[in-house]
Amino acid sequence: MSRTSSLLFLLPLFLLCSCGAPDGQKIVVYSPHGKELLADFAQRFEAANPGVKVQWLDMGAQDALDRVRSERANPQADLWWGAPAPSFMQAAEENLLQPYRPSWAGATDSSFHDPQARWYATWITPEVIMFNTQTLTRETAPQDWDEVLTEKWRDQIVLREPLASGSMRAIFFAMISRQYQASGTSAAGFEWLKQLDRNTKSYAANPTLMYLALVRGEAKLTLWNHPDVLLQKHQYNYPFDYLVPQSGVPLVPEGIALVAGAKNLALAQKFYEYVTTPESYQYAAQKYWRIPARRDLDFSQFAPETDPRNFPALRINWKMYADSSETWMKYWDANIRNRGQK
């Protein structure tokens, strides 16, 4: 879930135009799913569709939404693949998405898709506590969300830059929402984030810098999404592991949608269907630790790490997220970031 806004908007326009394939035989995909997964699925789709070119841009979830907004008058992307569902809710309300009902539409819960079929969830992403196994163990790492606020973890936490990251926005919202459900106001939630800021040593501009801070021992833990922890651990041998907080985790529906005004709509629909087949779901679970949102799959074929039953869910009002997240994040940025008493 990566890449900063400044880098994103400086990307040359020719990246979107020079694809090595004629119009009608290329598709442009915006996604925060990471270069490994995106390159892999692009190659698989191209192999199944000779002559077609998939051009993907890896960017943070919020960056993807901002870019689709900015390109409303002249869309450059055909398909937006990945971001928390509230980002798609916002885009749908702004008429940025093209309705499309996939062939498997009946296999998802009503909360995992737009009533007007403008987006559907593909995966469910748990947000967890991630730690460096060279400095912490499952026994010594924090066991729950509130434990990361204790004095023990002062300057021991590195966080991904929250404004550009769908994962961090979801975690921040979940922490505010927990307090909101108990008190009816967001004040206690912001106090929670203030204490987290006090214990946070730095905010990394992208996931790579966050991983490096952990590997180098600059921090011992972070709050992050479950698939990335396992991807870094198994593909790159980073000393990472995770704990599922005892009180539950945000289970974030990750969406997919066609961009309104897409230049290559038919091909985008074909890619949409390709990456959401049972075979693609099982492949993504085995290689990238992704948890499917579809209910009609044989979960006996999936590893325990990709079984949603192993992740107790925090109760999250995603519509409230869509309506409130931007305001709450702006408040955090203006009033809390780097203001904890170090």
The closest of 57, 49, 58 to 24, measured between CA atoms, is 49
Q: Which amino acid is at 272?
A: Y
Cα(282)–Cα(312) distance, integer angstroms: 22
Residues 6+ apart with CB under 8 A from 22: none
In a domain, 136, yes or no: yes
- 182 & 322 share domain: yes
Percent of the chain with pLDDT over 70: 92
- 244 & 323 share domain: yes
Is residue 83 classed as helix, strand or coil in its secondary structure? Answer: strand
pLDDT in tens, 7-47: 444 443 334 444 455 556 899 999 999 899 999 999 999 99
Q: Which domain holds residue 225?
A: 126-250+315-335
Residues facing 57 on adjacent strands: 30
- 289 & 236 share domain: no
pLDDT over 50 at 288, yes or no: yes
Instruction: State the pTM of this model.
Output: 0.80
Which CATH number goes with the domain that contains 59?
3.40.190.10
- 142 & 170 share domain: yes
In a domain, 341, yes or no: no
Cα(337)–Cα(190) distance, integer angstroms: 11
- 26 & 97 share domain: yes
- 223 & 327 share domain: yes
Q: What is the DSSP string of 268-288?
A: HHHHHHHTTSHHHHHHHHHHH
- 79 & 165 share domain: no
- 203 & 146 share domain: yes
Cβ neighbours around 39 below 10 Å, total: 13
The two tokens of residue 137 are 């163990």
pLDDT in tens, 145-164: 999 999 999 999 999 999 98
Average per-residue pLDDT in the chain? 90
Q: What is the number of domains present in the chain? A: 2
Question: Residue 5: its pLDDT value, please?
Answer: 42
Percent of the chain with pLDDT over 90: 77
How distant is the alpha carbon of residue 159 from its chain centre? 14
- 97 & 178 share domain: no
- 162 & 110 share domain: no
pLDDT in tens, 70-106: 999 999 999 999 998 989 999 999 999 999 999 999 9
The two tokens of residue 29 are 């995909």
The closest of 4, 44, 64 to 271, measured between CA atoms, is 44
- 117 & 130 share domain: no
Q: Which amino acid is at 40?
A: D
- 127/11: higher pLDDT: 127
Q: What is the DSSP string of 111-159?
A: GGB-TTSS-EEEEEEEEEEEEETTT--TTTS--SGGGGGSGGGTT-EEE
Cα(102)–Cα(83) distance, integer angstroms: 18
Listed in order, strand segments (DSSP E) in the chain are 26-31, 53-58, 79-84, 97-98, 120-132, 157-160, 200-204, 221-225, 240-243, 251-259, 291-292
